[in-house]
A and B are shown apart, each in its own frame.
Chain A
């Protein structure tokens, strides 16, 4: 039996901010779920199954699928929890997509959330890694990403200013997003003037820690036309989770045929092959990418095939990824403006859907019809989805 085609028919997100003290975790989840259900003109009763995700040890609540049933609407319904680090939100999206594509469920609610204000994020990230080989010396996401940034600069000649351009772009875009956490117009000098957290990564290069939630309704092709919003169709998904330990991802770059980021490059090859992407810069109208720090907006563009190796500084400085450029990246302000970790990957998918539906408000890319959304996490893991307004001829996987 062929897999069903799947459309996104409802999107809900909460205000993203440094500390949502006004809501308990369950209430934060409920805020996003109500918004998504309202958006699709649905009630809780219409939902067949739920996929929820966060990093449970960030809140210290280990039973989130059960604990949150009142808020998520999962009371008496099939529910699965997915937790994959930074990719959690994009994995949740893919999990909901698989549920519907299987033909077993018609309407599936995906929920991603986090209250990073409730624990120490660096400490929590360290405890996601191996207790023998990683934890004694690991310094969390900031330190881990800095290793990559050092290598990228050494091998390509890229500069800290090149990276700062990405931070300026994403934070400026966030001014158009009423849900974003950091909404500030900064210039390159301002980013360069922020203190080093882990050389060469500065405070201004790094994502914030955020409280927030996102919910998205996925519907089968059999009923996706029954909603007020035109479906944003999932054209394809791919993911690769490679590597066990924090030092593993660097190995591949020094062996024959080694590449920057093999998980992303392999997922990209599979996804573009399935969907028919040969020139992403030309074919995608917009991209919502999980760029947790500024240097990712250089190196990952190369792994996603937007330019040749070492070509990203010229690409971003050309304005091609700015609003009004060939393929705007992160009109929402991206992860550099809001990072409620379990929500973050799902927000990329939600934003991509809003863009192709023409419902992205002040952050809309005019006429956008095909979008790329990504999730990044763990030891250089990669989730990728293509979302389009055109109904695909068949489910391509």
Chain B
């Protein structure tokens, strides 16, 4: 009966057509991504009022509502703030491909930054991760970096 009902109600598919977008990274976003692509270096941006350093980079400090222009170097090493291990399968809407699972997923504070960023982490056993652990960025090989956050392959736990 349930199958009969399913057959009774029609649906149409949107089809294979894609509607690509082209987003501008802006002045500071471009600088941030270019530095990662060309020099494997992280930069943050500093608020002239509160002194907070933001990564991901942005041009307005929300709390102070001040324009930021001062770029400051930030380390490619940092601290694990919190994490998960993603194991359910889903299609990444940016690529149309299954996101490879399981993968470690983490909130990371780079040394020298006051804000945090999210990225992959090279560990899929939650028992082996703990907030406060040290992490380091692992970059894509030279020639393969294109100017996106995926130029960082993942972060790795620094195992002493």
Asked whether B84 lies within 8 Å of A131 as measured between CB atoms, the reply is no
Asked if B1 is at the interface of the complex by the 8 Å CB criterion, the answer is no
Cβ-defined contact, A247 with B114, below 8 A: no
Provide the bound-state CA to CA distance between A22 and B8, in Å: 9
Query: Given B14, B83, B94, B109, which contacts A136 in the complex, CB threshold below 8 Å?
Result: B94
Do the beta carbons of B93 and A123 come within 8 Å of each other? yes
Contacts of B118 in A (CB 8 A): 133-134, 137-138, 147, 245-247
Cβ-defined contact, B56 with A122, below 8 A: no
Nearest residue (CB) in B for A134 is B118
Q: Output the residue of A133, A151, A201, A255 with the most chain B CB within 10 A.
A: A133
Contact stretch, chosen from B21-29, B38-46, B136-144: B21-29
Please count how many residues in chain B sit with their CB below 8 Å of the partner chain's CB atoms. Answer: 45
- Asked whether B105 lies within 8 Å of A143 as measured between CB atoms, the reply is yes
CA separation between A123 and B118, bound complex, in Å? 17
Q: Shortest Cβ distance from A292 into chain B, in angstroms? A: 15
**Complex interface: chain B residues within 8 A of A131 (CB):** 21, 23, 94
- Is the C-beta of A244 less than 8 angstroms from some C-beta in chain B? yes
- Given the complex, which residues of B lie within 8 Å of A136, measured CB to CB? 94, 148-150
Judge if B119 is at the interface, Cβ distance under 8 Å.
yes
| A151 adjacent to B131 (CB under 8 Å) | yes
Is B107 an interface residue when CB atoms closer than 8 A count as contact? yes
Q: Is A140 an interface residue (CB 8 A)?
A: yes
Q: Are B58 and A247 in contact (CB under 8 A)?
A: no
* 11 other A-B residue contacts (CB within 8 Å) besides A136-B149, A146-B84: A122-B90, A131-B94, A132-B23, A132-B33, A135-B94, A151-B82, A196-B85, A197-B88, A199-B84, A200-B84, A248-B115
Whether, in the assembled complex, A18 has its beta carbon less than 8 Å from a beta carbon of chain B, the answer is: no
Contact with B along A148-162 (1 / 0, CB 8 A): 111100100000000
- Are A198 and B93 neighbours in the complex by a CB distance under 8 Å? no
Cross-interface CB contact of B90 among A140, A200, A250, A254, cutoff 8 Å:
A140
Contacts of A122 in B (CB 8 A): 90-91
B87-106 interface mask toward A, CB cutoff 8 Å, 1 = contact, 0 = none? 11011111000010000011
> Which residues of chain A have C-beta atoms less than 8 A from B85's C-beta?
196, 198-199
Contact at A137–B120, with CB atoms within 8 Å? yes
* Residue in A126, A132, A201, A250 whose beta carbon sits within 8 Å of that of B148 in the complex: A132
Task: Please determine whether B9 and A21 come into contact, CB atoms closer than 8 angstroms.
Answer: yes
B117 at the A interface (CB under 8 A): yes
Known: A133-B149, A137-B120, A247-B116. A150 touches B83 (CB 8 A): yes
- Asked if B9 contacts A196 (CB within 8 A), the reply is no
Distance, CA A250 to CA B109, complexed state (A): 10
